[in-house]
Structure 1
Amino acid sequence: MPQRVLIAGTSPLLAGRLAARCLSATDSAAGADVVLLSAPGSRPGAPAPDRHELASFVTRCAGERTPAGQGPPTAGASAKPPHDAPDGKRLTVVCVEPDAVARELKAWTADQVWCVAPGWDRSPARGARADSALAGTLLAALPGLGASGYVHVGPDTTADGGPARRSYRDLERLAVETCLDAGVSWRVLRTPPAMDARASVLGECPPGAHRLLWALNSVRTEIEDRVPDWFERHPLRVAGVAGLGLTLLTAEQAAGALWRAGGPGELPDGFATVPRPAPVPLADVLARAGAVHGIDVRPVPDREDFGAADRLLDLRLRDVFRQAVRLRDAAPASTGTPPPGAARSDSDAARSDSDAAGSTTTRTDAENASPAARTASADAAPHARSQSATASAAAPQAGPSTADAPPPPLSAADQWELFGAVRAHRSPPDTARGETALRRRVLEVAGRPLVLFEGGAGEGPPLLVLNALGQGPGFLTRLCAHLAPHHRLVTWQVRGTEREDPAWGIRHQLDDMNAVLEAVGAERAHLIGWCTGAKIATAFQQHSPRAVASLVFLNATFRQNGRWDGMDTKYESDLAAVCRALDRRPHKATRMLDLLAPGAAGGKGSPGAPDAGVLGVLSRALADEVRRPFRDAEVLVRYARQLVDLWRLDSAAQAPRVGVPALFVSSEFDGISSPARAREAARCFPHARYAELAVAGHYAPHDRPALVAELITEFVRAPEEVADLVRYAEITWHIDMEGTAR
């Protein structure tokens, strides 16, 4: 009778590779049915694959390993177990939301269960939470599944002494305890990060080399969106790489080692760690990866002369440096200033961890394993219910302590090939979805047309995206495209500046918002206000408090006459003077047109901030949009009067009465809307968080839509936790939910 192997994972990449290994196995796993249950958290910038994409990936990988003369496995599309499994091998792929795993497991039985929770989420806190939820659900369902074996795959955190290590060690203890109680055989396996050419297609970016390639690609895309030939004349500088190395392990190598250590068979209970290949000098990896992306990457001794582009790359490489290890023959004095988070060498980390563990084990043949593997086994010994159970769980001699001998490091030629393949499969990180169109609909409100743009998918209140006064939809196209797969959303053409429009003040804008809510059939919504939209969103929350679930302010201007003096940007000061003059003397509009168009404004931030350089140049895609309110004198006068009306609105007085969560997202180099004033405004809201994006400008929702969309998505889902779930080096969190400094 064929076996059934259930492989459930938060990593489609690794779980899919393991499913392919099972399907192509020629030993005791031959004839096994494979159920692949994929439960990653899909988010902007990292969409989870659907079952057809994942099935195609698995069958392709299995086909590459199938011996000549054998056909590839059959990929089943059903979401239910087959009643009469045919001879041979069959794959069934099920993709579910993380909170639906328990319900889905009720439909299955399995002989062996794999939990693939490798900790590869870009956010450690979010990843640990998702991995813990999946493991807990699988272990709770173990009796109903009828499995005789359980394999837990987690991250190798030997060199990580932080909360992530403790979280994953607790998971391992839970797995062993549950299996001991249920009389199920168990294996706990650990793997370092791995690389795969199709990782980005599956919505993944594992730590280490993948994050390095992502950092280069994302910086390159953001700069070339402004100045296409910039890299022909300028290098990118990186500090602190001397004496550091990066291990390059392919996902196929990791999956092979894991399968050999945990595949169906007579292996006893125990622990195993996938060994890392010898590290490749980080300077060499950067040089090859830079060349693949057309970037001259130059190591330098320190960060003293970094420009904005260098700073952005440095911030995005911080996570990479945490995965780097010191090369064995590198003298500490020769390494320059080490980057924040740089790890110790594997052997040094293992020795210090072993000293900290303070435990002893019986000497066995397993002691021939690497120090890291022996330490991992000792450290993972669970706190069992009894002395005998503790001895059984803690003794690594009961099973293998390493999954394999260390693979050789990737050759230079293999690195070129792999880096090139990763880039070929990666869509530009923040622009790939920019062409996604929303549906256009025209309503008649107050006797005049109101143009809506709506779309997206998702449950719960929709997102109402408030554009800035006088602006067209182009500023928010990319952001909406990244939000649409996760939320229902609607935006509209703000009225009041077109030649045929009557005077349209704040009261009219609030009436339009009520009409939009009614048109989309929603009683409540999350409001997202960009620039001047923030003050209008606040006013609407006061006008209709039950209709607002939360507030998000992007590069908000809270300018008000007579308040927060000295915090205006130069652009705000100049604009205020001109708008007041035009309100009184509209006949002077023609002479003032050329004075106001911001062009590349936004390249300098608060007083004393360094120049944003190329990151202060306006995106070419916004060249026409930014001139929209300044295209003729009549439109300019209408726009000026809208702003004068907005500046009379006292948002500071309204803020203390706002009872819903609020998220402020500002930018370091915003030269249009004052970050200092936005930060001061955030302190007036009772339940606000304030995040500032490093080396970003006023148009961050356009320039970095995936990051901004991720902030919005996590905030809407869990406003109290967003600062922990989206904690990256390029984000500085200033205000907590009680309005106090962090």
Structure 2
Amino acid sequence: MDAATRLRPLMDAVHDTATEVRAKSPDYFADRPLRLDRDLLARYGGPAGADGTLARLLGDAYGLTVEPVDGPEALTAVDRLLAERATGGSGASGASGASATAPPEPELAAVLRSVATAQQERDRLDRAAAERIAARPPERTGVMGGVLHYAAAGPRREGAPPVVLLNALGMGPALWYPLMGQLAQEHRVVTWAPRGTAPGSRPLRVRDHAADLEAVLVAEGATACHLVGWCTGPKVAMAFHRRRPDAVRSMVWLHGSFRRTDDAGGREPDTSYERNLEELCRAVAARPAMADTLRRIFDGGGGADPGTSTGTDAAPGTEADPRRFAEEVLARPARALDEELRRPFATGPVLAAYARQLLDYWADDALAHAPQVRVPVLCVGAAYDRIASPERLAQAVDRFPDARYRQLTGATHHSMYDRPREIAGLLTGFLRAVEPTGTPRTPAQL
């Protein structure tokens, strides 16, 4: 095994972690090191890993400081994310100190620069693919009350069900473009902005959104599909399954929410965001004319999502504590999403329509139908999802006959944007394991 191949898992871990963190906090590494356990460095670099040479050259390749440390106790959440990526979650790399003899320093530096350059080119191609999808004119289909525009990518193949990305209420398709670029290499992929939050639009119920999904499938000439529901999307998927169970081959709940407002006993876990958002929605529903004023009260006048701690400014005191600050940064959305995430709260009328639909969603007990879902289900949670409770999603797994749960280390509610290659790999592996006929398979087979 040559040096580039042996070092690639470690370098991918450094690259992916640094890229994700910089998207959330561009200056994070300006005065903070990226810490790597000496044992991990030695496994990959042999003597060069043990004596600090590999750490220094990695820092040069990625424009940051890599600090060797003794033991996992010295690692922050950012460092632990890197370590998990480098070891595949096993705690041990594929290389060993006995076999991982690094080349001389000049050659090692050249190898690292070459791999880093290849990673940059891969990123450029990924961005270009997402930009092409964003620039493509949308597809159109007639729906009750008008025309639905939807984004599509990937070739239509006879007998191959499309992957339908069921978006969150109030959100546009922009968060999905990076993931669509990845999935479109093997699948036809479609998504759209759920209707009903434009000012003056008629109220839509969960069943209406399920009807929109059916209209898209008709437009695509598809008789079956794989459903990926994000945030509020799973409730649309369940409503569609009730009316067309034969058309669903598999389901994925990507940071999905089955939240209900009739939880009188308070047994279901909520995030603070969900509690604050319900308070806002009820206030707006009671006094729609006050929607803009209420929106400004909740967001402090700055236009951010109400009651969240997902902004891009650090909470007071966290920067002085490396461990707290690392967790706070990982929990943020990427800065490029600032405007997109404000869409449901853009104006008073938009918020009023959004609140009306959310209250309807929360009243729907979608999990009552779970025992009838006989296709494979994958539930994907995120350790730092502060929008939709990952604990609630994990609890939902047992309601389905054939489901499993996967939690992403260090991830947020927006993992499909932050980590499109990782999410695409997870989804593609799951879809490949699903029988073409949708015959249920056990979690062990998936």
Question: What's the TM-score once normalised by structure 2's chain length?
Answer: 0.85
Aligned counterpart in structure 1 of residue 28 of structure 2, from 230, 238, 254: 230
Q: CA deviation at 1:310?
A: 1.2
Q: Residue 686 of structure 1 contacts residue 737 of structure 1 at CA under 8 Å; is this kept in 2?
A: no
Aligned AA (1:473): P
2: CA distance, partners of 1:683 / 1:296? 44
Bigger radius of gyration? 1
Work out whether 1:615 is the aligned partner of 2:330: yes
TM-superposed deviation, 1:232: 1.1
Q: Which of 314, 320, 327 is matched with 2:83 structurally?
A: 314
CA deviation after TM superposition for structure 1 residue 323, in Å: 3.5
CA–CA separation in structure 2 for the residues paired with 1:242 and 1:217: 16
Q: Distance in 1 between matches of 2:40 and 2:277?
A: 49
The reply on whether 1:281 has 2:49 as its aligned counterpart is yes
AA aligned to 1:451 is H
For 1:639-661, what per-residue CA distance to the aligned partner results, in whole angstroms no more than 9, with x for missing partners? 00100111111112111111111
Alignment match of 1:482 (pick from 168, 182, 188): 182
* Contact residue 38 and residue 49 of structure 2 kept, 8 A: no
2:16 to 197, 218, 221: 218
Asked if 1:294 corresponds to 2:63, the answer is yes
* Cα pair distance change 1:246/1:312, threshold 3 Å: closer
Kept in 2: contact 1:593–1:636 (CA 8 A): yes
Deviation at 1:346, TM superposition (A): 5.3
3-state SS of the aligned residue for 1:573? helix
| One-letter amino acid matched to 1:572 | E
Offset, 1:587: 2.2
Tell me how far 1:686 sits from its aligned partner: 0.7
Q: Are 2:251 and 1:534 aligned?
A: no
Q: Is the 8 A contact 2:41 2:54 kept in 1?
A: no
The correspondence for 1:654, drawn from 362, 366, 369, is 369
- One-letter code of the match for 1:427? Q
What's the CA shift string for 1:40-72, capped at 9, x where partnerless?
xxxxxxxxxxxxxxxxxxxxxxxxxxxxxxxxx
Going from structure 1 to structure 2, the CA distance change for 1:413 and 1:243 (only over 3 Å counts) comes to closer
Deviation at 1:613, TM superposition (A): 2.3
Q: What are the ranges of 5 or more consecutive residues in structure 1 without an aligned counterpart?
A: 1-192, 197-205, 248-277, 327-344, 348-407, 721-735
| Counterpart selection for 2:118 from 415, 425, 429 | 425
Structure-1 separation of matches of 2:223 and 2:283: 41
Residue equivalent to 1:565: 267
Which amino acid counterpart does residue 702 of structure 1 have in structure 2?
A: Y
- CA distance in 2 between counterparts of 1:568 and 1:428 reads 41
For residue 702 of structure 1, the aligned residue among 405, 417, 423 is 417
Query: Match for 1:456: what amino acid?
Result: G
Q: Distance in 1 between matches of 2:442 and 2:200?
A: 44
* 1:312 partner amino acid: L
Residue pairs, 1:380-459, within 5 angstroms = 410-427=103-120, 432=127, 433-437=129-133, 438-457=136-155, 459=157
Change (3 A) 1:287 1:492: same
- Where structure 2 has 5 or more consecutive residues not aligned to the other structure, the ranges are 315-322, 436-440
Distance 1:291 1:613 in 2: 26
Alpha-carbon distance, 1:458 to partner: 6.4
Counterpart of 1:553 in 2: which secondary structure? strand
Aligned to 2:94: 323
Do the aligned partners of 1:443 and 1:451 also contact (CA within 8 Å) in 2?
yes
AA of the residue aligned to 2:294? M
Structure 1 or 2: more helix by fraction: 2
TM-aligned CA distance change 1:236 to 1:409, over 3 Å: closer
Equivalent AA in structure 2 for residue 436 of structure 1: R
Q: Distance in 2 between matches of 1:243 and 1:560?
A: 47
Shift of 1:617: 2.2
Q: Deviations over 1:214-249 (max 9, x none)?
A: 1111111111112222211211111243893546xx
Compared with structure 1, are the counterparts of its residues 412 and 321 closer, same or farther at alpha carbon in structure 2 (3 Å cutoff)?
farther
Counterpart secondary structure, 2:142: strand
Amino acid across the alignment from 1:598: D
Distance 1:482 1:711, change over 3 A: same
CA apart distance, 1:409: 5.3
Tell me the alpha carbon deviations over residues 668-713 of structure 1, each in whole angstroms, 9 at most, x when there is no partner. 0100000000001111011111100011111111111111111111
State the distance in 2 between where 1:195 and 1:538 align. 49
Percent of aligned pairs sharing the same letter: 35
Q: Please tell me whether residue 467 in structure 1 is matched to residue 163 in structure 2.
A: no
Query: How far apart are the structure 2 equivalents of 1:665 and 1:737?
Result: 17
Q: What amino acid maps onto 2:71 in structure 1?
A: D
DSSP 3-state at the match of 1:434: helix
Seen in structure 2, the aligned counterparts of structure 1 residues 243 and 639 have a Cα distance that, compared at 3 Å, is closer
Secondary structure of the corresponding residue to residue 443 of structure 1 = strand
Between the aligned partners of 1:539 and 1:558, the Cα distance in structure 2 is: 12
Residues 442/681 of structure 1: CA separation in 2 closer, same or farther (3 Å cut): same
How big is the shift at 1:476? Answer: 1.1
Change (3 A) 1:513 1:245: closer
Counterpart of 2:404 in 1: which secondary structure? strand
- 2:379 corresponds in structure 1 to 664
1:642 aligned to which of 340, 345, 357: 357
For residue 93 of structure 2, what is the amino acid of its counterpart? Answer: R
> Quick one: structure 1 residues 321 and 290, their matched pair in 2 at CA, closer, same or farther if it must change by over 3 Å?
farther
Asked if the contact 1:469/1:639 (under 8 Å) is kept, the reply is: yes
SS of residue paired to 2:186: coil
**Which of 501, 513, 534 is the aligned partner of 2:213?**
513
Which letter does structure 2 place at the counterpart of 1:222? E
Is the Cα–Cα contact under 8 Å of residues 441 and 451 in structure 1 kept in the other structure?
A: yes
Is the 2:44–2:93 Cα contact (8 Å) retained in structure 1? no
- Tell me the CA shift for residue 637 of structure 1: 0.5
Q: How many equivalent pairs are there?
A: 410
Question: Is 2:255 the counterpart of 1:555?
Answer: yes
Deviation at 1:443? 2.5
Asked if structure 2 preserves the Cα contact closer than 8 Å seen for 1:601 and 1:618, the reply is no
Write out per-residue CA displacement over residues 461-513 of structure 1, whole angstroms, 9 at most, x where no aligned residue.
Answer: 11111110010111211111111111011112210000142111112111111
Assess if the C-alpha contact under 8 Å between 1:538 and 1:651 holds in 2.
yes
Q: Deviations over 1:67-89 (max 9, x none)?
A: xxxxxxxxxxxxxxxxxxxxxxx
Kindly state the Cα deviation for residue 664 of structure 1 after the two structures are TM-superposed. Answer: 0.7
For 1:244, what is the secondary structure of its paired residue? Answer: helix
Is residue 218–residue 428 contact of structure 1 (8 Å, CA) maintained in 2? no
Map of 2:438 onto structure 1: none
CA contact (8 A) 2:12 2:86 kept: no
Distance 1:566 1:429, change over 3 A: farther
* Superposition deviation, residue 434 in structure 1: 3.1
Within the candidate set 672, 685, 697, 2:400 is matched to 685
Distance 1:454 1:230 in 2: 36
Letter in 2 for 1:613: E
Larger RCO (CA within 8 A; separation ≥ 6): 2
The one-letter code of the counterpart of 1:311 is R
Q: CA deviation at 1:578?
A: 1.6
CA contact (8 A) 2:332 2:412 kept: no
TM score, norm. by length of structure 1: 0.52
Q: Using the TM superposition, name which of 565-574 and 586-595 deviates more.
A: 586-595
Cα distance between partner residues in 2 of 1:427 and 1:717: 29
What SS is found at the alignment partner of 1:701? helix
Contact 2:211 2:240 in 1 (8 A): no
Aligned residue runs from structure 1 range 723-742, under 5 A: 737=442
Partner in structure 2 of residue 166 of structure 1: none
Deviation digits for residues 350-408 of structure 1 (CA, Å, limit 9, x no counterpart): xxxxxxxxxxxxxxxxxxxxxxxxxxxxxxxxxxxxxxxxxxxxxxxxxxxxxxxxxx9
- Going from structure 1 to structure 2, the CA distance change for 1:243 and 1:716 (only over 3 Å counts) comes to closer
Whole-angstrom CA distance in 1 between matches of 2:104 and 2:38: 24
The letter for the 1-side match of 2:118 is: H
The one-letter code sitting in structure 1 at the alignment partner of 2:110 is E
